[in-house]
Structure 1
Amino acid sequence: MTQASPSVRATGRRPAAAAPSRPARGALSGRPRPLSPLLFCAPFVALFVAMYIAPILYAAYNSLFTVRRSGLGLTAPTEVFAPLDNYVRAVHDGSFTASLGRVALFGVVQVPLMLAVALVLALLIDSKSARGRGFFRLTSFIPYAIPGVSAALVWSFMYSSTSSPLNRLLEPFSVTIPFFDDDIVLWSVANIVTWSWAGYNMIIIYAALQSIPAEVLEAARMDGASALRIAWSIKIPAVRGALVLTTVFSIIGSAQLFNEPTVLQPVSGGSISSAFTPLMSAQSAVAAGNYPYAAAQSVLLAVAVGLVSLIFFKLTRRGDQA
């Protein structure tokens, strides 16, 4: 026989058994987890699909049709399903392929130059001996705050053959810059883009510089490293992610070049054609009522930009692994 515990013998009552722990709500019922986190993401997903995914899919779908017109043009044009016709036409369109090459050259030269200027500005403002950092950050960022169309209008006055103050300053030296010459006009546009976007990229790089621990920089100074050595060996490697980000943004921006050459076109004397960039070429197709052909050009441009960005990411990742 088992003996009762002393408390049972004294009171004649057994203590109440401990209540079993209650399982978590929904643990035994098999209910799915709450959907509230997904509901918080729903507005963003809806806007992303409506503003980005849907237009891309519609453009890809629309590019599969071809506009056909009668011989005399007396009847309304009709759209015929021909999946490859617009793409074949775009590949053999000399104006469109030339615009792709022009933008590629623009990106190869202008993007590294602009990012180099942005990096130098960020390093100068971040230097220990810098004074008036807030003023220089603001003045560097102001060109980005000016709308691109307005900036192009101002620069069109600066480039004008009759009123250019730049050429007037160079008159005593018998030097005249033909800003709208066929061989120079692309770099005139690049100058406007660099002026507008260098400050924006500088802010991104400068923000990355602020994340470098002060102890690391102070230790380098105590070891006798010069400001140039600290910038080259510590600061620039630390902002590598920001440089990759700004490079990708700049590649995409170069492919979307439209405002500046469009504003300069009326005063360019014919050096900027209606197909100067891929977007201008697509806009010309829209103006002509050939929406499927414009959609095909846009799809080809998007694919080209995606491939370039992917290759760039692969190269930068390979550099990280090495």
Structure 2
Amino acid sequence: MSTLVNKDTVPRASRRRFHASGRPWVPYVFVAPFVVLFILFLIAPIGVAIGNSLLAQKASGLGFGGVETIFAGFDNYLRALRDHDFVVGFGRVLLYGLVQIPVMMVIAAALALLFDTGLVRGTRFFQFAVFLPYAVPGVIAALLWGFLYQPSVSPVVQGLAKIGIHANFLAPGSVLWSIANVATWSTVGINMIILFAALQGVPREIYEAARIDGAGEVRIALGIKLPMIAPAVLLTTLSSIIGTLQLFNEPQVLKSITSTISSDYTPNMAVYAATTLDRNPHLGSAMAVLLGLVTLVLSVIVLRITRRRNGVTDGN
């Protein structure tokens, strides 16, 4: 005995799934643009950099026949690791990150928590004011702060001198922290927005229950709000670590107004100097690959530390 099924009685969603089941390639069409762009602009450049790092240029014909490219293996990596200024640059940015990242995160978190309390009037205006420096390009920000750092023209330096404080923001011992100040001024806003958006997703009933139990606002902020937005804190921390190791714009701009910043002051500047000034793209590629590996290792370490603190194991 057969049963006749009227087409109009079949739910539309079921018919849609039935028709799609006959075209299994449809999902891949939607994913293809991302995959193509990912390969072209991320995977391919990494592959080119690794390939270039294994090559070297050698003069041929007793120096009169031009230059030929030969396979050098890991010679460029060994040369980069023996470069004292390149290695010192890593130590410099790590010291910079150990100070700048916590300071920036504390300021961003404090502002996000303050705006989340609802006690600040004109929240939208002040959020925009804090976020505005992020919209200023890094080069422009470095130029603006460079004007404030130069003793001959800086109203800040001249004002401090009038009250007996002789500050030199471009001295060898302070220029690194002057760079950190520029980076902090530029990035606090975007991190504050990310943390504030995460706070808006936390159910308000949790705060009310804590207040009923007698918890104060400070305890709620430190014991409830920050743990609830731990993924957002991790995201901003990782992006800050990556940005620290890629530090380039601020010291490169300030280098033009002070001699305390060398052409290889940071690893990224060393890559640029080796590739353009020394015209050795193969050595520059090896330095870039090493920089990427250090960034990857530090990111994995931070992720593992965070997962262990949150009680998450790799098996979960």
User: Taking structure 2 as the reference length, what is the TM-score of the superposition?
Assistant: 0.90
* CA distances 1:14-48 after superposition (whole Å, capped 9, x unpaired): xxx32488xx99xxxxx986111111010011001
Matched, 1:305 2:295: yes
* CA distances 1:68-109 after superposition (whole Å, capped 9, x unpaired): 246986553322101111000001001111111111111111
2:9 is matched with none
1:144 is matched with 134
**Aligned equivalent of 1:284, options 265, 273, 281:** 273
Tell which structure's C-alpha radius of gyration is larger. Answer: 1
User: Taking structure 1 as the reference length, what is the TM-score of the superposition?
Assistant: 0.88
* CA distances 1:285-318 after superposition (whole Å, capped 9, x unpaired): 1112211100000000000000000011011111
Change (3 A) 1:73 1:250: farther
Where 1:66 maps in the other structure, the secondary structure is: strand
1:196 is matched with 186
After the TM superposition, list the runs of 4 or more consecutive aligned residues in structure 1 that deviate by more than 4 angstroms: 70-75
- Map residues 191-270 of structure 1 onto 2, 5 A cutoff: 191-268=181-258, 270=259
2:116 is matched with 126
* CA distances 1:230-260 after superposition (whole Å, capped 9, x unpaired): 1111111111111111010001001111111
Distance in 1 (CA, whole Å) between partners of 2:72 and 2:4 is 71
Change (3 A) 1:124 1:146: same
2:306 is matched with 316
**Aligned equivalent of 1:174, options 150, 159, 164:** 164
* CA distances 1:160-215 after superposition (whole Å, capped 9, x unpaired): 01011111221232112111111111111000000000111000000111011111
1:39 is matched with 29
**Aligned equivalent of 2:2, options 18, 22, 39:** 18
Where 2:46 maps in the other structure, the secondary structure is: helix
Distance in 2 (CA, whole Å) between partners of 1:249 and 1:239 is 16
Matched, 1:113 2:103: yes
Q: CA RMSD in A?
A: 2.0
Residue range with higher mean Cα deviation, 34-43 or 213-222: 213-222
Q: Is the 8 A contact 2:170 2:260 kept in 1?
A: yes
Q: Is the 8 A contact 2:151 2:158 kept in 1?
A: no
Distance in 1 (CA, whole Å) between partners of 2:180 and 2:28 is 44
* Letter of the structure 2 residue corresponding to residue 318 of structure 1: R
Distance in 1 (CA, whole Å) between partners of 2:58 and 2:176 is 35
* Letter of the structure 2 residue corresponding to residue 273 of structure 1: S
Matched, 1:273 2:262: yes
Structure 1, unpaired ranges of 5+: 1-16, 26-30
Distance in 1 (CA, whole Å) between partners of 2:63 and 2:129 is 56
Structure 2, unpaired ranges of 5+: 6-13, 16-20
Where 2:125 maps in the other structure, the secondary structure is: helix
Change (3 A) 1:172 1:291: same
* CA distances 1:44-80 after superposition (whole Å, capped 9, x unpaired): 1100100000000100011001222469865533221
Aligned length: 299
Change (3 A) 1:197 1:75: farther
Matched, 1:183 2:173: yes
Distance in 1 (CA, whole Å) between partners of 2:96 and 2:177 is 8
Change (3 A) 1:69 1:180: farther
Where 2:256 maps in the other structure, the secondary structure is: helix
Distance in 1 (CA, whole Å) between partners of 2:193 and 2:166 is 35
Residue range with higher mean Cα deviation, 64-73 or 172-181: 64-73
Change (3 A) 1:271 1:72: farther
* Letter of the structure 2 residue corresponding to residue 170 of structure 1: L
